Amino acid sequence: MKTVLVTGASGLIGRHLCRLLETKGYAIHVLGRSKKNDLPYKQFVWDVNKGVVDSDAFEGINAIIHLAGANISEGRWTKHRQQEIRDSRVKSTKLLLKAVQAAGIHLDVFVSSSAIGYYGATTSDTIFAEADSSAEDFIGNVCLEWELSADAFEQNDVRTVKLRTGVVMTPTEGPLAKMARPIQSGFGSALGSGKQFMPWIHIDDLCEIYLQSIEDVAMSGPYNAVAPTHATNAQVTSTIGRVLNRKTWLPNVPAFVLKLIFGEMAVIFLEGSRVSSHRIEQTGFQFRYPELEKALTNLM
């Protein structure tokens, strides 16, 4: 039986992913800031800021899936929060490499989360692909540093996969629940111009991509983890309304209101371009939910 170490397993993606890995027969080690009562796996603790990690977490592991990171949409982007967002991803990746080397083990694969924010908070007609450069904004820079820290595994002869993930649609909590709540109450509307694209992915497809990243030895480097069909914020809003059988009749929430509430972070709601799923599809990956309406109908 192969053993996978998952960081950030208590989060939105991690909980779904660990369930899938378990059904596929993997043993799971979980590495988190604290042990959680409701995670039925072997748990180990680390403190990224102090550079401390329980070395037992690495015993007998074949792969690491690195999901941990301070949530980018929680709290205003103060200097302190920005540092936390960066450190929780970059320092943690470096700490994992150090611990793997200290344990003297050879991993089959290191899979790191990344985000479509790599391409920048910008609204355009461009369809970004993996060969495009990272943007020079805050999230673009964080994603670049995060991916470069993951590349250090590759330089140590470990196959490395980086999944530039779009907005993950899950049945409860997460971005979809946040968008659906006001729509359900009859007060939902698009944000800003509504024309910004919102690259998205159904949680089941994302978890299958993580699984394939572990098992498909031909996979290496960055892959956009986004559904093949593109939708703007206005289209996502109206599709949620249709699925919930609610009218979305209110005018769009003006950009300045979001900037007042969220400060600099508002860009993640107000800007977005299309992102290509071509490279992951070229690996043979087949999306179960390539279309938004079917994905949302399944989730809601």
Ligand X SMILES: NC(=O)c1ccc[n+]([C@@H]2O[C@H](COP(=O)([O-])OP(=O)(O)OC[C@H]3O[C@@H](n4cnc5c(N)ncnc54)[C@H](OP(=O)(O)O)[C@@H]3O)[C@@H](O)[C@H]2O)c1
**Which range touches ligand X (CB under 6 A), out of 9-17, 153-161, 210-218, 241-249?**
9-17
The answer to whether 111 and 214 have CB atoms below 8 angstroms apart is yes
Nearer to ligand X, 72 or 219 (CB): 72
Report, in Å, the least distance between residue 19 CB and ligand X.
13
Which among 35, 59, 60, 58 is positioned nearest to 45, based on CA atoms? 35
Report, in Å, the least distance between residue 210 CB and ligand X.
10
Enumerate residues 35-54 that contact ligand X by CB under 6 A.
Answer: 48
Question: Which member of 24, 55, 56, 71 binds ligand X (CB under 6 A)?
Answer: 71
Report, in Å, the least distance between residue 107 CB and ligand X.
19
The two structure tokens encoding residue 206: 């994302």
69 is a site residue for ligand X (CB under 6 A): yes
The two structure tokens encoding residue 27: 């043993």
- Mapped onto helix, strand or coil, the DSSP state of residue 54 is coil
The answer to whether 117 and 139 have CB atoms below 8 angstroms apart is yes
What sections of 65-163 are H helices per DSSP? 79-103, 138-155
Tell me the C-alpha distance between 299 and 104, whole Å.
43
Report, in Å, the least distance between residue 203 CB and ligand X.
9
168 is a site residue for ligand X (CB under 6 A): yes
Nearer to ligand X, 63 or 72 (CB): 72
Nearest 5°: the CA angle 98, 100, 103 is 110
Question: Which member of 93, 160, 165, 239 binds ligand X (CB under 6 A)?
Answer: 165
84 is a site residue for ligand X (CB under 6 A): yes
**Which range touches ligand X (CB under 6 A), out of 55-63, 70-78, 191-199, 249-257?**
70-78
**Which range touches ligand X (CB under 6 A), out of 20-28, 66-74, 97-105, 235-243?**
66-74
Which is it for strands 3-7 and 63-66: parallel, antiparallel or unpaired? Answer: parallel
Nearer to ligand X, 10 or 232 (CB): 10
32 is a site residue for ligand X (CB under 6 A): yes
The two structure tokens encoding residue 260: 């007042």
Tell me the C-alpha distance between 202 and 22, whole Å.
19
H or E element at residue 161 = strand 159-165
Strand partners, 110: 64, 160
**Pattern 198-237, binding to ligand X, x per CB under 6 A?**
----------------------------------------
Question: Which member of 4, 10, 95, 270 binds ligand X (CB under 6 A)?
Answer: 10
Question: Which member of 4, 5, 6, 13 binds ligand X (CB under 6 A)?
Answer: 13
Q: How many other C-beta atoms are found inside a 10 Å radius of the C-beta of residue 103?
A: 16
Nearest 5°: the CA angle 208, 14, 40 is 110
- List of residues contacting ligand X (CB under 6 A): 8, 10-14, 32-33, 48, 67-72, 84, 88, 92, 113, 115, 165, 167-168, 174-175
